[in-house]
Structure 1
Amino acid sequence: MPVRRPLLAAALGAAALLCAAVAPACADPSELITVDPVGRIAPDGTVTLSGTYRCTGGTGPVFVSSSVSQGDARLRHGVGGGTARCDGAEHRWENSGKVTAGALKEGTARVEATLTELRPSGILLLPAFHAATDRTVTLTQE
């Protein structure tokens, strides 16, 4: 399944941008996702990002996705993804993923993190956004 994770992260990220335009209809204001100010990049290109999240009322599977860009903001690299628990408590998240060799280096980068639920709607699963954030971080060498 590793091949599908970048595709899922890209799809969820694109949907998050759409959600940002209609944010009041997408998320409960008590739900949030944060990104830690420092991310790590390993010599082999593996990037690790982390933060916290809080959500409630998930009826379908909920995922924490993240992406990073450096330089050209239009070029985003999906960085892993994981499942979330929407029980109203604050939880830590950490995503890791390998990016193309040389695509990222130490220094300032933009990270987008999204908390997205896939809700059943007939025979389809449609995205429902719990929270999204976009912030500047510092990538440091491991």
Structure 2
Amino acid sequence: MKNLLTLLSVMLLILGCSDDGTPSEKVNIRLRNLSSYDFSNVVVGTPGGTVNYGNIPSRGITEYESFETAYRYAFIELQIDGDTFTIQPIDYVGETPLENGNYTYEINANDSQERYGRLILRLRED
């Protein structure tokens, strides 16, 4: 019986973790740069906090950062070759918060030089 309880405890511990073993008690978000540009000074803001992810090289991916609350899109500001580009949500009315777990914001950049029109954001559940 003791072995069975130990086995069940281990299984619950494993099921309570994400694929990489990180506990999923919060919304964990990492960033993937899908573009051919290097991103610098990358900041992500959600109603659950703001995180500076630093620099992300072309095709690079960051470590997960935790947020209390996040949505399928967020405020994102970064620099490409010294110019600042932004994704600016108006609000989150009608949106459902992401459930606790691991997600990736995939960011791409087109050739536009418009501050608010260059970045493209897509959410992926990991």
Query: TM-score normalised by the shorter chain: which range applies?
Result: 0.3 to 0.5
Larger strand fraction of residues? 1
TM-score of the two chains, using structure 2 as the length reference = 0.37
Higher relative contact order (CA 8 A, sep 6+): 1
